[in-house]
Amino acid sequence: MILLDRVSKKYPRAENHAALERITLHIDPKEFVIVIGQSGAGKTTLLRLLTREERPTSGKIIVGGIDYDKLKDKDIPMLRRKIGVVFQDFKLLPNKNVFENVAFALEIVGISNREIRHTVPKVLDIVNLKGKEKHMPMELSGGERQRVAIARAVVRQPRILVADEPTGNLDPKHAWEVIKVLEKINRYGTTVLLTTHNQEIVNKLRRRVITIKDGRITSDRANATYNGKA
């Protein structure tokens, strides 16, 4: 499902320091993978490479059969439609209400209004946001905003969901609500790639854990725990 082969990323302004160095990684369909590491370790860069926000300096990336080397600019929107993304800072559209934010993900792929009216309430129900459809993002709590972002990421039923520290801005109660939603989505068959440095979440989930330090993978273990020292 996700394949990275000796992928490196250097930013032009930090030529001497690689954000990622020769990362090789293979993630199977329906897996739930947690990427841990301290701030600046390269977790976000890894996810940005998968969504093609960044290009690797070297190495090969193949996601869902799409070879990024052969990907043209005009095909990038099509790629992003296949990957659901949840951002730490939510990235909700401020001028759209909850319903419209989620519906937007369907509108851009040309789904009919009728189907949108049918699907969006169902997904909002899954993330416990029933009754908040007309609220604007600024009227919601952090946890609610993040659940809107998750609803938006999963409403198209992507085969891959990438979540970049989705609990980073949330209190423990709301953080667990979000994690539960991600687990539920994974049970429906979506491959989930979650970055976090929340020790408690990692230890309770006991999933495959990939540790990144200074841009390199230092460990890759199944059913792993985390002692907070990446």
Partner 1 sequence: MKQRLITLSRIVHTGTVNFIRNATLAVAAIAVMVVTLTIVLFSVITNATFENTIKQITNKISVSVYLSDSTTDAQAKQLVARLKQQPEVSRVVYLDKQQALQAFVDSNGSNTNLQVAATEAGNPIPATINVYPRNLNEVQEIKDYLVKPDNKKLQTPESPSYNGDRKEAIDNITHATNVLRKIGIVTVAVFAVICALIIFNTIQMAIFNRRSEIQIMRLLGASTSYIRGPFVVESAIYGLLSAVFSVLIVNSVFLASSNALQASSLGLLDIHYANEYFGDHFWELLTMQIAIGIIIGTVSSVIATRRYLKFKSK
Q: By the criterion CB under 8 A, which residues form the site for partner 1? A: 12, 51-55, 73, 76-81, 85, 87, 91-95, 104-105, 107-110, 112-113, 152
Q: Which is nearer to partner 1, 73 or 229 (CB)?
A: 73
Chain centroid to CA 168: how far?
13
With 0-12 / 13-18 / 19 or more C-beta atoms within 10 angstroms meaning exposed / middle / buried, residue 183 is: middle
Nearer to partner 1 by C-beta: 101 or 186?
101
Nearer to partner 1, 107 or 171 (CB): 107
Nearest residue (CB) to partner 1, 85 versus 193: 85
- Minimum CB separation from partner 1 for residue 105, in Å? 6
d(CA 19, CA 35): 15
- Three-class DSSP category at 218: strand
The b/e string for 213-227 (b: 16+ C-beta within 10 A; e otherwise) is eebbbeebeeebebe
Residue 208: CB minimum distance to partner 1, A: 26
CB atoms within 10 A of CB 93: 13
Instruction: State whether the Cα torsion 187-50-177-229 is positive or negative.
Output: positive
C-alpha distances in Å from residue 107, one per residue of 17, 70, 73, 98? 41, 27, 21, 14
Closest to partner 1 by CB, 70 vs 73, is 73
Q: Whole-number minimum distance, CB 151 to partner 1, in Å? A: 13
Taking the complex as a whole, how short is the minimal distance between the CB of residue 84 and partner 1, in angstroms?
9
Q: How far is the CB of 115 from partner 1 (least distance, A)?
A: 11
